[in-house]
């Protein structure tokens, strides 16, 4: 008889423990699910905003390209050079046979190739 009572009590205890575990686990799982949904929604919003910005930037470039194809191509080329070679001196040489003197990048410095060549030759003359 005692074994039956003990088994019954063990059964009740295990059921209470399982119920307590369930009562603890379900709210945590729901909370985690809500948090994951919020993170996903925020990520979605971020991606949508970024895509809209990228599309707007592309449309701006397209409008500029339609107004002046060659100028826009050259500008995009120079911007790309600045991005992939930051902090380096860049020279824009005239096409072969061309007499035009172009400025070197960064263009805001306003130093032409001829001026730069003169400074280099000047330094070389001092070394000799």
Neighbours of 112 (CB within 10 A): 13
102 contact partners, CB below 8 Å, separation of at least 6: 92, 93, 94, 112, 113
Q: What is the pLDDT of residue 36?
A: 97
Alpha-carbon gap, residue 91 to 89, rounded angstroms: 7
82 contact partners, CB below 8 Å, separation of at least 6: 90, 105
- Phi, psi angles (nearest 5°) of residue 100: -70, 140
What three-state secondary structure class fits 95?
A: coil
82 CB burial (10 A radius; 0-12, 13-18, 19+): middle
pTM for the full predicted model: 0.50
Alpha-carbon gap, residue 95 to 101, rounded angstroms: 10
Give pLDDT tens digits along the chain (128 positions): 788 888 888 889 899 999 988 888 999 999 999 999 999 999 999 999 999 999 999 999 999 999 999 999 988 988 888 888 887 776 666 666 655 555 444 555 555 555 555 655 565 565 44
Cα-to-chain-centroid distance, residue 99 = 41
C-alpha gyration radius of the chain: 36
């Amino acid at each position: 008889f005692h074994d039956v009572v003990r088994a019954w009590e063990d059964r009740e205890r295990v059921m209470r423990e399982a119920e307590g575990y369930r009562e603890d686990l379900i709210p945590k799982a729901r909370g985690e699910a809500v948090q994951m949904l919020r993170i996903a929604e925020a990520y979605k919003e971020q991606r949508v905003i970024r895509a809209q910005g990228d599309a707007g930037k592309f449309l701006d470039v397209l409008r500029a390209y339609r107004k002046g194809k060659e100028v826009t191509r050259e500008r995009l080329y120079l911007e790309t050079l600045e991005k992939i070679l930051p902090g380096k001196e860049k020279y824009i040489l005239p096409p072969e046979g061309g007499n035009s003197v172009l400025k070197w990048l960064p263009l805001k410095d306003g130093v032409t190739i001829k001026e730069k060549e003169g400074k280099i030759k000047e330094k070389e003359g001092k070394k000799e």
